Amino acid sequence: MTIEHADWQTILNKLRVYAERKCLSTVNAQKSEVTCINSNYKNLPPLYFDGVRLPYTDSFRYLGMVCDKQINLNTAADATLRPFTAGTFRVKEFVQKHDLSIRLHAYIWLVKTFAIPAGMYASQIWATPYLQ
Protein backbone atom coordinates (compact mmCIF):
# COMPACT_ATOMS: atom_id res chain seq x y z
CA MET A 1 0.00 0.00 0.00
CA THR A 2 1.34 3.38 -0.92
CA ILE A 3 0.19 6.77 0.21
CA GLU A 4 0.26 9.52 -2.36
CA HIS A 5 1.99 12.84 -1.81
CA ALA A 6 -1.31 14.71 -1.49
CA ASP A 7 -2.36 12.33 1.29
CA TRP A 8 0.86 12.98 3.25
CA GLN A 9 0.42 16.71 2.87
CA THR A 10 -3.17 16.37 4.14
CA ILE A 11 -1.93 14.39 7.16
CA LEU A 12 0.66 17.09 7.94
CA ASN A 13 -2.00 19.80 7.63
CA LYS A 14 -4.26 17.90 10.03
CA LEU A 15 -1.35 17.58 12.47
CA ARG A 16 -0.91 21.35 12.39
CA VAL A 17 -4.64 21.93 13.04
CA TYR A 18 -4.64 19.35 15.85
CA ALA A 19 -1.57 20.94 17.48
CA GLU A 20 -3.20 24.37 17.33
CA ARG A 21 -6.51 23.07 18.75
CA LYS A 22 -4.73 21.37 21.67
CA CYS A 23 -2.50 24.43 22.25
CA LEU A 24 0.57 22.35 21.46
CA SER A 25 3.38 24.50 20.21
CA THR A 26 5.88 21.65 20.31
CA VAL A 27 5.95 20.86 16.58
CA ASN A 28 9.11 22.64 15.47
CA ALA A 29 9.12 22.51 11.68
CA GLN A 30 12.64 23.98 11.59
CA LYS A 31 13.97 20.89 13.38
CA SER A 32 11.67 18.31 11.77
CA GLU A 33 12.70 15.87 9.05
CA VAL A 34 10.99 13.19 6.97
CA THR A 35 12.19 9.60 6.61
CA CYS A 36 10.47 7.36 4.08
CA ILE A 37 10.64 3.87 5.55
CA ASN A 38 11.48 1.07 3.07
CA SER A 39 11.34 3.54 0.21
CA ASN A 40 13.42 3.37 -2.95
CA TYR A 41 12.04 6.57 -4.44
CA LYS A 42 14.68 8.95 -5.72
CA ASN A 43 12.56 12.01 -6.55
CA LEU A 44 10.36 12.51 -3.54
CA PRO A 45 8.01 15.51 -3.69
CA PRO A 46 8.50 18.32 -1.19
CA LEU A 47 6.44 18.21 2.00
CA TYR A 48 5.55 21.30 4.01
CA PHE A 49 4.50 21.79 7.60
CA ASP A 50 3.12 25.18 8.51
CA GLY A 51 4.73 26.67 5.40
CA VAL A 52 8.20 25.23 6.13
CA ARG A 53 9.65 22.67 3.73
CA LEU A 54 10.67 19.49 5.57
CA PRO A 55 13.96 17.92 4.44
CA TYR A 56 14.25 14.20 3.77
CA THR A 57 16.74 12.09 5.70
CA ASP A 58 17.85 8.44 5.64
CA SER A 59 17.87 8.02 9.43
CA PHE A 60 16.12 9.28 12.55
CA ARG A 61 16.19 8.93 16.34
CA TYR A 62 13.28 7.42 18.24
CA LEU A 63 13.45 7.03 22.04
CA GLY A 64 17.22 7.29 21.87
CA MET A 65 17.52 4.61 19.19
CA VAL A 66 19.02 5.47 15.79
CA CYS A 67 16.95 3.98 12.97
CA ASP A 68 17.64 3.98 9.26
CA LYS A 69 15.03 3.92 6.53
CA GLN A 70 15.36 0.13 6.25
CA ILE A 71 14.80 -0.29 10.04
CA ASN A 72 18.09 -2.18 10.31
CA LEU A 73 18.72 -2.90 14.00
CA ASN A 74 22.47 -3.15 13.35
CA THR A 75 22.39 0.62 12.81
CA ALA A 76 21.04 1.09 16.34
CA ALA A 77 23.61 -1.29 17.81
CA ASP A 78 26.46 0.43 15.97
CA ALA A 79 25.30 3.85 17.19
CA THR A 80 25.29 2.57 20.78
CA LEU A 81 28.75 1.05 20.50
CA ARG A 82 30.51 4.44 20.37
CA PRO A 83 29.34 5.78 23.79
CA PHE A 84 29.90 2.35 25.37
CA THR A 85 33.46 2.21 24.03
CA ALA A 86 34.08 5.79 25.19
CA GLY A 87 32.80 4.88 28.66
CA THR A 88 35.10 1.86 28.95
CA PHE A 89 38.02 3.97 27.73
CA ARG A 90 37.33 6.63 30.38
CA VAL A 91 37.12 3.97 33.10
CA LYS A 92 40.41 2.40 31.98
CA GLU A 93 42.08 5.82 31.89
CA PHE A 94 40.76 6.71 35.37
CA VAL A 95 41.86 3.36 36.84
CA GLN A 96 45.37 3.79 35.44
CA LYS A 97 45.64 7.42 36.54
CA HIS A 98 44.61 6.63 40.14
CA ASP A 99 46.35 3.25 40.33
CA LEU A 100 43.14 1.30 41.01
CA SER A 101 44.02 -1.78 38.99
CA ILE A 102 44.47 -3.87 42.15
CA ARG A 103 41.07 -2.75 43.50
CA LEU A 104 38.74 -4.89 41.47
CA HIS A 105 35.60 -3.71 43.28
CA ALA A 106 36.33 -0.09 42.31
CA TYR A 107 36.98 -1.12 38.71
CA ILE A 108 33.67 -3.02 38.53
CA TRP A 109 31.77 -0.16 40.16
CA LEU A 110 33.18 2.31 37.62
CA VAL A 111 32.26 0.06 34.69
CA LYS A 112 28.73 -0.42 36.08
CA THR A 113 28.38 3.34 36.56
CA PHE A 114 29.89 4.75 33.37
CA ALA A 115 30.19 2.13 30.61
CA ILE A 116 27.19 -0.17 30.97
CA PRO A 117 24.48 2.55 31.08
CA ALA A 118 25.89 4.07 27.89
CA GLY A 119 25.81 0.68 26.18
CA MET A 120 22.32 -0.13 27.41
CA TYR A 121 20.68 3.12 26.25
CA ALA A 122 17.65 2.14 24.12
CA SER A 123 18.71 -1.53 24.27
CA GLN A 124 15.21 -2.58 25.25
CA ILE A 125 14.36 -1.83 21.61
CA TRP A 126 17.36 -2.87 19.52
CA ALA A 127 18.74 -5.73 21.64
CA THR A 128 15.69 -8.03 21.59
CA PRO A 129 17.11 -10.33 18.85
CA TYR A 130 20.18 -10.93 21.04
CA LEU A 131 18.25 -12.09 24.11
CA GLN A 132 18.32 -15.75 23.04
> Mind listing the pLDDT tens digit for each residue in 50-72?
788 888 888 888 777 788 888 77
Q: What is the pTM of this model?
A: 0.54
User: H-type helices in 1-49, by residue range?
Assistant: 5-21
Mean pLDDT of the chain: 80
Instruction: For residue 90, name the pLDDT band (cuts at 50, 70, 90).
Output: very high
**pLDDT for the residue 1:** 44
Instruction: For residue 49, name the pLDDT band (cuts at 50, 70, 90).
Output: confident
**Beta strands of the chain (E only): which ranges?**
47-49, 52-54, 59-62, 65-68
**Beta strands of 26-82 (E only): which ranges?**
47-49, 52-54, 59-62, 65-68
